[in-house]
Amino acid sequence: MFAINTDITEKKQLEVQFLRAQRLESLGALASGIAHDLNNVLAPIIMGAPLLRECATDGSSAKLLETMEESAKRGAGIVKQVLTFARGVVSERVAIQPRHFIRDMSKIAAETFPKSIRIQPQAATDLWPIIGDPTQLHQTLMNLCVNARDAMPEGGVLTISGENVIAPEHGARLVVGLRPGPYVRLCVCDTGTGIAPEVLDRIFEPFFTTKEPGHGTGLGLSTVMGIVKNHGGVVEVKSELGKGTRFEVYLPATPDVSVDGPLPVSRNLPKANGELVLVADDEQGVRDVTRRVLEAHGHRVLLAVDGVDAVALYMRHRTEIRAVVTDMMMPGVDGASLVCILRRVDPLVPVIGMSGIGDPAQLAELESLALPVLLQKPFPPEKLLEALHETIHAFGRPGGSGRGK
């Protein structure tokens, strides 16, 4: 009888795991579509904010626009993070100064968490750089801080700190699973309710949560563990009921890498000389902002609302058009079909693609078109301007308001 009960229990567990896997697969498909729409929403903000900042007449307006732009970029990063989780999109890793994470997260917590929670940032001034995905690591701190907030319903102290540590080659290990070498230890410590010992071993399991239904997905800490492991790090937890919890994240450091050099000098963006550019996008916001950016830097612009409109405009102005900028996902004649049609008319037509797609298979299909440039939405205006400048000159169609006759 015991064996039969065990078999039934295992069968039920497998059924639950299968349903969860199906749900995640559905979420992955949904995430890819939502990502395209969100990227189209964010694209005009990220392209337009720098243009407005140049026109700002006072410092407070410029600062507000900078905050809006940074928030939009963070939103784009979150979209990319969702795709990384749902579809396996490869993330980009760069040298990062962890002190900036602590500063930004402390600011967000101070502005959004209940005032009964006191935020204490404690970052060493000489923190070593780390190599990682900024969005993923920001999400790690965010998840830990949100958990800490929820553990202090009556208020308390949230400490976010960072320090350099060395895992020794010999002797007692600093933390189980930590290889010898330099690390940055990021800590999120709360004075909340604490975690019961019998629960502590399960907190990193996917979908495990002690929160009431509707108040937690059970994916926050499993996501933290996955991100940290993918960065070659380790997560350590210490907790005592009634006194609080301390999460320690160990990330491999790169002491010899410099990320705090002089501030980048603003680049002189390429100015056009009246070159005519055809822009095709079914999103009016993207069309309008793209036109404003291009016209502000010396281009003339034709706008097409879809692929059919773009073909008609190209046939009418083909002797003047220097380049085509097109969204790759449009109703009816999409970007890929538009490229094929235009290449039949003019095999050397320079086409720059814009895409909000995050699905690797779809991206691979677009790359097979061998476009000179494929810009991933949302992107800053300088990327488009530089891509246009390089593409027009590479295809031997420089300057002027009309093509040589």
Task: Identify the burial level of 320 via C-beta atoms within 10 angstroms of its C-beta, where 0-12 means exposed, 13-18 middle and 19 or more buried.
Answer: middle
Residue 59: per-residue pLDDT: 72
- The segments of the chain whose pLDDT lies below 70 read 1-32, 80-91, 170-173, 206-219, 259-268, 357-364, 396-405
Residue 220: per-residue pLDDT: 74
Hey, do 2-87 and 276-394 end up sharing a CATH topology, with the first three levels equal? no
Give the H/E segment covering residue 12.
helix 2-55
Contact 188, 160 (CB under 8 A): yes
CATH class entry, domain 2-87: mainly alpha
Taking phi over 0 as left and psi of -120 to 50 as alpha, with beta for the rest, 51 belongs to alpha
177: which DSSP letter? T
299: which DSSP letter? -
Residue 403: per-residue pLDDT: 43
Q: DSSP for 97-126? A: -HHHHHHHHHHHHHHHS-TTEEEEEEE-TT
Domain ranges in the chain are 2-87, 98-252, 276-394
Q: Distances from the Cα of 218 to the Cαs of 105, 118, 145, 359, in angstroms?
A: 22, 26, 15, 25
For 201-205, the CB contacts below 8 A with 24+ separation are: 203/237, 204/235
Residue 19: per-residue pLDDT: 67
Instruction: Give the residues across from 325 on adjacent strands.
Output: 279, 352
212: which DSSP letter? P
Residue 324: per-residue pLDDT: 96
Q: Distances from the Cα of 275 to the Cαs of 312, 326, 332, in angstroms?
A: 19, 16, 28
CATH architecture of 98-252: 2-Layer Sandwich (3.30)
Residue 359: per-residue pLDDT: 54
Closest of 28, 216, 10 to residue 208, by C-alpha: 216
Instruction: Note the pLDDT tens digit of each residue in 322-376.
Output: 999 999 888 889 888 999 999 999 998 999 999 876 555 566 677 778 888 889 8
Residue 48: per-residue pLDDT: 84
| Token pair listed for 22 | 């199906």
Q: Distances from the Cα of 233 to the Cαs of 161, 229, 310, in angstroms?
A: 17, 5, 50
| Token pair listed for 172 | 């007692």
The verdict on pTM exceeding 0.75 is no
| Token pair listed for 356 | 């909000």
Strands 117-123 and 156-167: parallel
Q: Distances from the Cα of 316 to the Cαs of 20, 89, 165, 278, in angstroms?
A: 54, 40, 66, 11
CATH code reported for the domain at 276-394 = 3.40.50.2300
